[in-house]
Amino acid sequence: MLLAASQKQYVMKTTMIKTIGTAFLFAGMITLNSCNKDKSASDFTAADNQALADETYNDVHNVSDEASQTGSVSYKDEDANSLLSGCAVVTRDTISAIRTTTIDFGTGCTGIDGKTRKGKILISYDGPYRAQGTTITVTFQDFFVNDNQVLGTKTIHNDGLNGAGNPSFSIHVQGQIILANNAGTIIWTSDRTREWIAGAATPQRDDDQYSITGTASGTDSEGNPFTCTIVDPLIRNLAPGCRRHFVKGSVLIQRSGKPDKSIDFGNGDCDNQAVVTVNGTSHIINLH
């Protein structure tokens, strides 16, 4: 088998993690746009594209983990552990030295999250997920999400225990997203470190906490370069009532010729609010 029981447990828990940006920018930028009517819509293209790229490649990570661990693709309710309906044909090779998993969404498959996926996600492993030194590589074959084509490679490397004694993973994405309706192409490079800072020694996930650091850069769909830097580590707390959003940390988004935008998720309180600051003016946004 590819994963021992403890390793399966670890993958199941990490499946639930939506690393950087899945919710915080995607929802927040809509509110931010409405609060800054003096800014043109193009001022926020980089932020919106950053959110889409982060959400897309994080979703790939979650789906890939679940398929490799269970042999199927479903979606888990974020406030309960029940399995929700899903779709795809999953094929796993657990015998070869380099193990592989293929997730085939066929010509179109709409998940419980309302997204329609088609094509294939291809995953290869050179060792167990929890073993130090293991590298997991994710690629794509004619893969689309809501008619946006996803290209590139996502690499997850197990760095072992860090100086604090916590499991740590390096995650690199080199990708492109060709937007539907000839709306342009997002070029995306991301390098992050995910540290499991609490709950690693227990089977339940309600006590899990993760710290995420790193940077991203790319070119938005209008051809403008941008960067995204995590200034203070983003903290994900999986306790009930906390797990939908980051509870702490801050991010800086920069684009040449445009004002910097910072997003602050607070001091650890379990709420759905963040503070966005542009040109010294701050706005509270509600995260969805």
Q: Is the pLDDT of residue 5 over 90?
A: no
**Torsion 256-261-267-269 (CA) sign:** negative
Which residues are CB-contacts of 165 (< 8 A; sequence separation ≥ 6)?
none
Are 76 and 16 within 8 A, CB to CB?
yes
Residue 177's pLDDT is 96
**pTM value?**
0.72
Strand 109-110 relative to strand 116-125, pairing: antiparallel
- Between 39 and 32, name the one with better pLDDT: 39
Question: Which pLDDT band holds residue 46 (cuts at 50, 70, 90)?
Answer: low
Distance CA 239, CA 260 (A): 32
Are 250 and 237 within 8 A, CB to CB?
no
Residue 152's pLDDT is 97
Question: Which pLDDT band holds residue 44 (cuts at 50, 70, 90)?
Answer: low
pLDDT digits (tens, 9 = 90+) for 172-190: 999 999 999 999 999 999 9
Q: Is 269 helix (H, G, I), strand (E, B) or coil?
A: coil
Out of 24-28, 116-120, 158-162, 274-278, pick the least confident: 24-28
Question: Which pLDDT band holds residue 160 (cuts at 50, 70, 90)?
Answer: very high
Q: Which of 282, 286, 288, 287 is nearest to 36 (CA)?
A: 282
The number of folded domains in the chain is 1
Question: Which pLDDT band holds residue 146 (cuts at 50, 70, 90)?
Answer: very high
Residue 119's pLDDT is 95
Question: Which pLDDT band holds residue 245 (cuts at 50, 70, 90)?
Answer: confident
Residue 202's pLDDT is 83
Average pLDDT over residues 242-254: 83
- Between 216 and 15, name the one with better pLDDT: 216
Q: Hey, what amino acid is at 63?
A: V
**Torsion 181-183-188-194 (CA) sign:** negative
Q: What percent of the chain has pLDDT over 90?
A: 32
Structural domain harbouring 202: 5-286
DSSP bridge partners of 190: 173, 216
Length of the chain equals 288
Average pLDDT over residues 34-47: 48
DSSP bridge partners of 277: 262, 282
Residue 138's pLDDT is 95
* b/e burial code for range 194-204 (CB count within 10 A of at least 16 → b): bbbbbbbeeee
Q: Is the pLDDT of residue 57 over 90?
A: no
- When the pLDDT of each residue in the chain is averaged and rounded to a whole number, the result is 77
